[in-house]
Structure 1
Amino acid sequence: MTYEVHEGYARLPEDLLRDLLNGAEDLAGQVTEMLEPALDQREQLRSTIDSLGLIRTFQPCQPVTVAGIDGGFAIERTSAVDISLSVAVGVEGLTGETVYWSGTQYEWWTRVSGHDLETERLARGVMVAQELAVLRDAPHGLRILDGSHITPVIQLNTALTAQSEELRQEAQRVWTRLQTVEALASAAKDIRVIAMPKYDSSRVVCATVANELGLEIPGDDKYLLGLILNPRELLLPQQVPEQPWASLHFNARSEADEKWAQAFGEAIQPLKERELKFTYFKPSEFSPAYRIEFKGNVPDEDFNTILATIESQITGPFVREPYPQYLADVMAKSVGLGLSALQTAVQLRMSGMGRPEIAELLIHSYRTEGV
């Protein structure tokens, strides 16, 4: 997600806003056309999926300790330089008492550089390395990675293939400090690590049902299963499809980067060999169907423990994620506010050093970008 930070807010022109609102009826029609068929055929779709043996009922058991990890970055593009800030946070799940962490765990990184459109690639590569570091060091029985297992691969490769050698070297310096190769390998094989992407475009289940019924199923798997699963039901765990998993890889921009591409590639070998399963689980009536990616060698009793732990962290209908994942996400999304505070602090320091003309250059920004 990319956003802009403003003082106050900018009003859209009145005519533009009126035209936008006049288009709401057409937009509502498009939404209805896309989502209505599955709603109208809910019973038939459920019957089909049930007949295929794809619906299971969760067997309650004792949950374990859990932590949620997420990251964010922001880039302040001032009139003179780019200021980057990247953070990752880990939040402990709800329990009656503190289990392992007395406070939020975090990693942060900041950098000042000349204007470069590829700065975002560096920030993404650093952010995910920080997430992996917090994830690796969490001692909890279950650790939730925000996003898919594919996400770190994409973000690390984005930084590794930046055209700027300076940016690649900075990314590799951070990766060395955080031992990112080892952290990535741990995330790819540790059965205590699961991934829960909020945004999901998978249509594996939709395609199966469509083939069985001989009709088109609009929407995606998350939408479909959110409609048809009852509370405490889940999709029979499935091995992840061949694509894109079997094709995961890292590229090297130069010969010096080859060792990183090779090491990262070896670290994700379990993902390339598809030693990963996924399911959709609906803990309660008001919750969505959560996509959960977990290791293929997780024993059945441990799989039930994963579901029980997730169910124990659902706090109500208005929080659409397990509690630690939700809170980590809220914190990580506040990175833009942190960068604004840092920028102000730097301006004050520069003024105090007798260089107000330099401080003034940090006041004027083109825009702030981040996730």
Structure 2
Amino acid sequence: MTAGGEFPDQTPFADLPAALVEEVLNQTATVADGLLASFQKIREDRNALRKKLEESGLVITESSLGYPPLPTTCATDGSYAIDRLLTIDLAAAAAVAVEGLTPPSEKRHWELPHHKTFIAAEPHLEDTATVLRAVMLGEELLLSTSAPHDVVMIDGTLTLPIIYFNQALNKVLDAKELRCSAEFLERCDKYLTAYLELLRSERSDKHYIALPKYSTRREIGTRLGWPTGHDDRGMLTLLLDPGEFTTPVELEHPRDSEGRVTWHLNTGNLPNESRKKVHDLANEIVFALQTVKVFYYKPHDWLPALRVEVAASVASNKHRLATVVQGLKHQCATPSMLEPYPIYLADRTAKALARAIPAFRQVTTQQVSERYNGDIGEVFFALHGYRSESGR
């Protein structure tokens, strides 16, 4: 809040030169013209694009799957934050799991959200965020696999863990003095085991689904020759009718010049005693990731199309696919949320961590000050914050 009692988002131009604001506002007219032309083009071509989509056989109505009993649901999300202080970094990460709307015939599994947290004073290192982020995501996966619900939603894509884990594996030896590095090394095999369980989804009573909000993927657009400037989710939001979804197709993967999938996990930096187990898990993960399927579903007319990534075992089973679709539809019950209810709640909870870090620092400063025998000013200098980093 500013001195005048206003919040920063209510006065976005307060600290900007007037000439800069005027110049940017003038440039927005050009941006608006370009967007308007693009929207009008899609609107004019919608019927032709819709017809081509129908002729491809990729559109299915939810009614064709039948109506299994409404599943219980939950969603997981995570966030991390680093407060860069004068002498140390205050690093924190949290993973949360939130239960969705409970079907009338079911009892709530959880009275309160479940969570995992990590907080530590770390030395100044550039790689702290990379390792801390992997710890956050690993705990999120562990919460997912331990949840007793029928459908577990993950906020993000199923390819994200292999990226974050590989980045951490590449950095962990150069950051051995970090407490989050020790945490990651100690629990790495558990994180990868949970990840593999998500990718396989072998239990018929447990369905893991990933729901990335932002995606540039074009698995369907590439097949149908859609304009390259439009990703699948944006285009299918306009083309799908409520209650329709697309046939699950293979996920796009990065490939080398010879067409081979390039996913990998660098396990060579791990200690000898855990390297063999993690190496075997890594190979299984890379194989399982190549079997993941993706489909788009539009539950209601007020929602954008949802991008849903699932294991092949779910996509190939009509009853399991119907369970996922019914679970999503039941959790998209109000136009005030443009995503499933538990994903919305988990996202709000996770985002709150970064906002709370300054308060955690103040509490820590007070506790140190109460027991410090020297000049208390030294404590406030040492724990003065200069920059904060956060992410999810």
User: What is the TM-score of this pair, normalised by structure 1?
Assistant: 0.90
In structure 2, the partner of 1:309 is: 327
Of 27, 31, 45, the match for 1:27:
31
- Residues 316 and 173 of structure 1: is their aligned pair in 2 closer, same or farther, counting only changes over 3 Å? same
Matched, 1:140 2:158: no
Report the secondary structure of 1:161's partner residue.
helix
Q: Is the Cα contact below 8 Å between 1:188 and 1:271 reproduced in 2?
A: yes
The answer to whether the 8 A contact 2:81-2:353 is kept is yes
**Offset at residue 171 of structure 1 (A):** 3.1
Cα offset, 1:205, TM superposition: 1.4
Mapped to 1, the partners of 2:299 and 2:21 lie a distance apart of: 40
Query: Is 1:247 aligned with 2:251?
Result: no
1:327-346 alignment to 2 at 5 Å?
A: 327-346=345-364
Deviations 1:113-141 (A, max 9, x none): 12111111011111101101111110111
**8 Å contact from structure 1 (residues 230, 282) kept in 2:** yes
Change (3 A) 1:282 1:73: same
Task: Return the offset for 1:316.
Answer: 1.9
- What is the aligned residue count? 360
Kindly provide the CA deviation profile for residues 185-240 of structure 1, in whole angstroms up to 9, marking residues without a partner as x.
21221251111111111112112221xxxx73531000111000000001111122
Aligned to 1:322: 340
- Deviations 1:68-96 (Å, cap 9, x if unpaired)? 00000011011221111100000001015
What does residue range 193-204 of structure 1 map to in structure 2 within 5 Å?
193-204=208-219
Paired position in structure 1 for 2:22: 18
> Which is further off, 196-205 or 256-265?
256-265
Residue 182 (structure 2) pairs with residue 164 (structure 1): no
Structure 1 residue runs of 5 or longer lacking an equivalent are 1-6
Task: List per-residue Cα deviations over 1:25-61 (Å, max 9, x = no partner).
Answer: 0121232344443222111000001011111100252
Q: 1:24 to 1:288 in 2, by over 3 A?
A: same
RMSD, matched Cα? 2.4
Query: Which residue of 249, 262, 284 maps to 2:279?
Result: 262
Please say if residues 192 and 282 of structure 2, whose CA atoms lie closer than 8 Å, have aligned partners that are also in contact: no
Letter paired with 2:213: K
- Over 3 Å counting, the alpha-carbon distance change for 1:324 and 1:358 in structure 2 is farther
For 1:189, the equivalent position in structure 2 comes to 200
1:155 equivalenced with 2:164 (yes/no): yes
Cα distance in 2 between the residues matched to 1:263 and 1:18: 58
Instruction: State the alpha-carbon separation in 2 of the partners of residues 240 and 123 from structure 1.
Output: 28
- Alignment correspondent of 1:3: none
Residue 223 of structure 1 corresponds to which residue in structure 2? Answer: 234
Indicate yes or no: 2:123 matched with 1:117: no
Taking the aligned partners of 2:52 and 2:332, their CA distance within structure 1 comes to 29
Question: Which of 90, 94, 102 does residue 87 from structure 1 map onto?
Answer: 94
Aligned-residue offset at 1:175: 5.2
Residues 263-272 or 96-105, more deviating: 263-272
* Mapped contact 1:78–1:362 kept (Cα < 8 A): yes
* Aligned residues with identical type, % of pairs: 26
Segment of structure 1 superposing worse, 255-264 or 350-359:
255-264
Shift of the 350–172 alpha-carbon distance from structure 1 to 2, 3 Å rule, reads: closer
| Alignment-mate amino acid for residue 369 of structure 1 | E
Residue 90 of structure 2 aligns to a residue whose secondary structure is: strand
SS of alignment partner, residue 112 of structure 2:
coil
C-alpha separation between the residues in 1 aligned to 2:77 and 2:56?
36
AA matched with 1:128? L
Contact 2:78 2:95 in 1 (8 A): yes
- SS state at 1:85 partner: strand
The Cα shift of 1:284 comes to: 0.3
- What does residue 287 of structure 1 align with? 303
Q: Is the 8 A contact 2:200 2:312 kept in 1?
A: no
User: TM-score when scaled to structure 2?
Assistant: 0.85
* 1:4 aligned partner: none
User: Among 44, 47, 62, which residue is 1:43 paired with?
Assistant: 47
